[in-house]
Amino acid sequence: QQARIRNSDFRSKIMSAEDAAALISDGSTIGMSGFTGSGYPKAVPLALADRIRAEHARGNPFRVKIWTGASTGPELDGALAEADGIEFRLPYNSDPVARQRINDGRMDYVDMHLSQVAPMAWQGFLGRLDTAVIEIAGITPEGDLIPSSSVGNNKTWLDIAERIILEVNDWQSPLLDGMHDIYYGTALPPNRVPIPLIRPDDRIGQPHFRVDPAKVAAVVATDAPDRNAPFSPPGATAEAIAGHILEFLTWEARRAGLPPSLLPLQSGVGNVPNAVMAGLIDTPFEQMTAFTEVIQDGMLDMIEAGTLRVASATAFSLSPEKAQYFNDNAARFRDRLILRPQEISNNPELVRRLGCIAMNCLIEADIYGNVNSTRIMGSRVQNGIGGSGDFARNGYLSIFMTPSTAKGGAISAIVPQCSHVDHIGQDVQVLVTEQGLADLRGLSPRQKAEAIVARCAHPAYRPMLEDYMARAARLSHGQYAPSLPSEALSWHQRFMETGSMMP
């Protein structure tokens, strides 16, 4: 660890995770690093969970408020939720234990656009930040911090927190140093200026975080790997969805006269987006770029195949095998990857300027093209909106994809009306299932309904949707977007009562 901590002032602050966790008190607000399971602190949260359990055993209250970049890992959200130690969480969670607590009403959760978290923290909308707990890859002789495998909101947490705990993780590749671009030019209105990024690979900032050493209370040495979710190869459904998208992109590039490098790609996480990335290797597109949130397995493959020239993101989200491969071969990828703060990677100004092609997954879509990305049956949160809204509203193209059914066919992903809306129809230009693709650009609500039901709905549910549309066309209060309010959510009600949307 001495090799990673090259500043003597910081070296004098090295202590155990337990001693560092003892600095945190009941009711604290803590800004942690971490984004899609990478670059999150792995020792202090576990020690804090032990401390919380011990206090609870003594009958003392102890819960904290946790802010992060996005999702973390079992050592953070999982352990603290298990210990009933989180009273409040923002802006994104995918941990199953924390999700259960939220859905049981025992944890407050604010699900936010990821680009908005840092500005809202600066604006004071979220309250005071007591402590920052940040994983880094090292400390320079000058006392600057070398970021880890995610950047997220770390710059902001380091700047606004009253006290800082650093975890220096020896597992992270030393070659991460130099891959980050930390932009310090953001200001609040009325002093905000344009962000000077014109191309996805522009570097506009500096490689390291700056930090006020007087605020650093503890430095903890760790060597645990990132969460790195295992990767299951795409099945037939994912490949069918990817096939429709690749055919569409090829057609769209010709129609719009787009260059062979297309436009910067944004891709959500999961099997379907990975299948799209894999498919892009075999298309005529070349020298492509990604301006996105997370770097996934498929993007590293595209870089090695020569299809992808450069990827800009805020974090890695790799399988364990690919993470090891990256660590062993980091030199090969170093010049092709740029990690930025999430207020830059997801910035609406930049997404609009660059004309990103946004590709995200959804939970359900309705016949008018509204999309629910976050809430099962309208009331149970799955993960959160993440960056999907940042990209969907502002991209050149916004594509949403899903298998046409869920839960073995008991649920139709295409419904008369979404039980909750994250992305309004205006932000959804293309809808894709394994059944087909609907290009909704320029269509009226009634035209959208025709296209979505005909091309995207599963054949088992298509007649039910056609029947609803036919009756709505006769009985609706208005004919702009015909609907039958008393029936529109009856499919969800039926599922909750019988376990299936099928009558």
- Closer CB to ligand 0RQ, 211 or 414, in the complex: 414
CB of residue 377 vs ligand 0RQ: minimum separation in angstroms?
A: 7
CB of residue 130 vs ligand 0RQ: minimum separation in angstroms?
A: 25
Catalytic residue among 75, 167, 252, 293: 293
CB of residue 395 vs ligand 0RQ: minimum separation in angstroms?
A: 12
Q: Are 375 and 381 in contact (CB under 8 A)?
A: yes
3-state secondary structure of 393: helix
- Closer CB to ligand 0RQ, 294 or 472, in the complex: 294
What whole-number distance in Å separates Cα of residue 177 and Cα of residue 459? 52
What whole-number distance in Å separates Cα of residue 221 and Cα of residue 23? 16
> Which residues of this chain interact with ligand 0RQ, rule CB under 6 A?
36, 70, 268-270, 293-294, 360-364, 373, 376, 382-383, 385-388, 406-407, 411, 413
- Closer CB to ligand 0RQ, 232 or 479, in the complex: 232
Token representation of residue 259: 């260059």
What whole-number distance in Å separates Cα of residue 42 and Cα of residue 415? 41
- Closer CB to ligand 0RQ, 154 or 360, in the complex: 360
3-state secondary structure of 403: coil
3-state secondary structure of 237: helix
3-state secondary structure of 266: strand
- Closer CB to ligand 0RQ, 211 or 397, in the complex: 397
The CA-CA-CA angle for residues 205, 210, 211, to 5°, reads 160
What whole-number distance in Å separates Cα of residue 468 and Cα of residue 470? 6
Residue nearest to ligand 0RQ (CB): 386
CB of residue 100 vs ligand 0RQ: minimum separation in angstroms?
A: 11
CB of residue 213 vs ligand 0RQ: minimum separation in angstroms?
A: 32
CB of residue 469 vs ligand 0RQ: minimum separation in angstroms?
A: 19
Closest listed residue to residue 157, CA positions, set 182, 194, 190, 189: 182
CB of residue 396 vs ligand 0RQ: minimum separation in angstroms?
A: 17
293 is catalytic: yes
Q: What is the DSSP string of 336-358?
A: GEEE--HHHHT-HHHHHHHT-EE
- Closer CB to ligand 0RQ, 222 or 373, in the complex: 373
CB of residue 62 vs ligand 0RQ: minimum separation in angstroms?
A: 29
What whole-number distance in Å separates Cα of residue 454 and Cα of residue 104? 38
Token representation of residue 51: 């401390």
CA distances from 139 to 15, 32, 36, 408, 413 (A): 15, 18, 24, 50, 48
- Closer CB to ligand 0RQ, 136 or 294, in the complex: 294
User: Other CB atoms closer than 10 Å to residue 110's CB: what's the count?
Assistant: 14
CB of residue 273 vs ligand 0RQ: minimum separation in angstroms?
A: 8
What whole-number distance in Å separates Cα of residue 224 and Cα of residue 168? 10
> Which stretch of DSSP H or E encloses residue 95?
none
Within 13 Å of residue 324, how many CA atoms lie on the same side as its CB?
Answer: 4
- Closer CB to ligand 0RQ, 339 or 363, in the complex: 363
- Closer CB to ligand 0RQ, 17 or 117, in the complex: 117
> Which stretch of DSSP H or E encloses residue 401?
strand 397-401
Buried/exposed code over 187-224 (b: 16+ C-beta within 10 A; e: otherwise): eeeeeeeebebeebbeeebebbbebeeeebbbbbbbeb
Q: Which amino acid, residue 68?
A: T
Whole-angstrom distance between the N-terminal and C-terminal Cα of the chain? 62
**Which residues belong to the active site?**
293
